[in-house]
Structure 1
Amino acid sequence: MPAIEGKVALVTGVSSGIGAAIVTELVGQGMLVAGLARRIDRVEALAKSLVGKKGKLLPIKCDVSSQDDVKKAFATAEKTLGPISVLVNNAGVLRAANLIQEGAIDGVQLMMSTNVVGLATCAREGLLTMVKNKTEGTIININSVAGHSVLPFPGIGAYNASKFAVTALTEGLRNEVSAIKANIRVTSLSPGAVESEMSGQFKKEGEESQLSEFEMLPASDIADCVTFILKSPQRMNVSTGKIHLEIVFPKK
């Protein structure tokens, strides 16, 4: 089992939910973590709460839909903490909208620029730094069950589309890594319904939620899966195409 203590990880979208849980887990395992988010005040508060743990969290303000922001964030992380060996692409948004009834396109643009273009930009920067430093690296894209099948909920078709794109991008990135013979693993981790701000938008007080019939996963479960992947031997590549790691909707 490889040791991850002292290694450098960069995690996006860490101001809440899955991202915050992943950072907490990795810092507890002794990793040096660069935590990226737009809401930097939340990341700074999280960093303070983790003081005294084995590792540490470096808060970096970053909007992953901005290529300039991403490039600066990776440069800051590498200069401050050292060569990056782990990238967790977690930043993502969900804006529910019924396109037929509402014709809302702003949310579609936001999801594509964050969930797809932002992820691709971070993957590019992560791959470039890992190849440059000849790092035994791991890239984990936090996907969704929505990236493998169209979920029967009105208004999330565009979110489905963005996550299907993540599935394709992950497979494509793995092919690229293989072609250049880089020692970098690429994983698509696909949770089901997770207790978070994102899922919270479907809950209205006094009303039945679209997710009411499902038992929500705690974000810590996803963080545990990330640790499992990182502690697996470098020769083992957990992927949706080989070892399928998919956290499905558990029934109550």
Structure 2
Amino acid sequence: MQMKDKVAVVTGAAQGIGRAVAEAYAREGARVAVADVRAEAAEEVADGIRRQGGEALAVLCDVSSRAEVDRAAADVKEAYGPIDVLVNNAGVTRPAMLHKMTDTEWDQVIAVHLSGSFYWLQAVVHDMIERERGRIIFSSSSTAQNGSIGQINYAAAKSGMLGMVRSAARELGRYNILVNAVAPAAATEMTLKVRTDPRFADAVKRLPLRRHAEPEEIAPTFVYLASDASSFVTGQVISVDGGGMMVR
């Protein structure tokens, strides 16, 4: 088991990539906090992990609220001890063409992806510095590297994550805290509206693999970055996008 006895928090873990990562971490021996704004859905994932013999705790958390993040981090620490692995995965989409995008659509996406990731980063980093170890992984997107029609808010937020990754990696490397990002292109509930938009009907055909990934195909990269196998990897963005970066 690559993550035996590690304590991992996965935000936005009630569905999609977050759920697949939480389940993969549990299979690798981690004690997993399934953090999500939807309590019942988070409990369903945590219960499924426990029924498979793993350890999991459902944690209600709106990542756009610093108070909720701090409370959630304290709950995890009380239940399992200091956090070893943080996956900043919680996300929302509010698609709109830039000339029609409202302040609310902009603010909601930035608050969840950027502010939420920053709040969680600060919530775990003090213990990691004290213990001189830790893994922090951001769930970015191929959109961060290539842009996307109708998603200037999402692309900006995911791009901002990459700046956060590289800055944190520089600051925290001396404490043996590794900070990386995964940039996936996957078929999830969150991306359904964009993926089914007729304007993007031909996009998947340009991928060398000619399809979107399933969340379970993305999760192993998160396992690698959380494991001892990645001990000399930090400040990196790993694209798991079916070869999409080659054809943009």
Same fold by TM-score greater than 0.5: yes
TM-score by length of 2: 0.89
Q: Which residue type is aligned with residue 124 of structure 1? A: Q
Q: C-alpha separation between the residues in 2 aligned to 1:211 and 1:20?
A: 27
1:50 aligns to what SS in structure 2? helix
1:60 Cα offset (Å): 0.6
In structure 2, the CA distance between the partners of 1:212 and 1:47, relative to structure 1 (3 Å rule), is farther
1:113-132: CA deviations, max 9, x gaps? 11101111111112122123
In the superposition, relative to structure 1, how do residues 26 and 103 fare at CA in structure 2: closer, same or farther (>3 Å)?
closer
> 1:162-190: per-residue Cα shift (whole Å, max 9, x none)?
11110111111111113xx2111001111
TM-score with structure 1 setting the length: 0.88
Q: Gaps spanning 5+ residues in structure 1: where? A: none
Counterpart of 1:248 in structure 2 is: 241
Q: What SS is found at the alignment partner of 1:177?
A: helix
1:127 to 118, 125, 128: 125
Distance 1:187 1:22 in 2: 15
Matches within 5 A, 1:96-245: 96-100=95-99, 102-132=100-130, 134-151=131-148, 153=149, 155-178=150-173, 181-192=174-185, 194-204=186-196, 208=198, 210-214=200-204, 215-233=211-229, 235-240=231-236, 244-245=237-238
Please give the alpha-carbon distance, in whole angstroms, between the structure 1 residues aligned to 2:230 and 2:145.
26
Q: Secondary structure at the match of 2:32?
A: strand
Distance 1:9 1:162, change over 3 A: same
Higher helix content, 1 or 2: 2
CA distance in 1, matches of 2:60, 2:26: 18
Query: Could you tell me how far 1:83 is from its partner in structure 2?
Result: 1.4
- Per the alignment, residue 10 of structure 2 pairs with 11
- In the alignment, the residues of structure 1 paired with residue 142 and residue 212 of structure 2 have an alpha-carbon distance, to the nearest angstrom, of 14
Unaligned regions of 5+ residues in structure 2, if any?
205-210
- CA distance in 2 between counterparts of 1:52 and 1:202 reads 34
Looking at structure 2, the residues matched to 161 and 51 of structure 1 have their Cα atoms a distance apart, in angstroms, of 37
CA contact (8 A) 2:2 2:29 kept: no
Give the aligned CA root-mean-square deviation in angstroms: 1.9
- Between the aligned partners of 2:41 and 2:160, the Cα distance in structure 1 is 29
Tell me, in whole angstroms, the C-alpha distance in 2 between the residues paired with 1:99 and 1:209. Answer: 16
Aligned residues: 238
Separation in structure 2 between the aligned mates of residue 94 and residue 239 of structure 1, nearest angstrom: 25
Which runs of structure 2 are paired with 1:73-88 in the superposition (5 Å)?
Answer: 73-88=72-87
What percentage of residue pairs aligned between the two structures are identical?
25
How far residue 38 of structure 1 moved from its aligned partner, in angstroms, is 0.6
| 1:135 CA drift (Å) | 4.5
Moved segments of 4+, more than 3 Å? 232-235
Please report how far the alpha carbon of residue 41 of structure 1 lies from its aligned counterpart in structure 2 after TM superposition: 0.2
Paired AA for residue 134 in structure 2: G
- State how far apart, in whole Å, the 1-side matches of 2:175 and 2:161 are: 21
> 1:64 maps to what in 2?
63
Distance 1:115 1:203 in 2: 20
Q: Distance in 2 between matches of 1:220 and 1:212?
A: 24
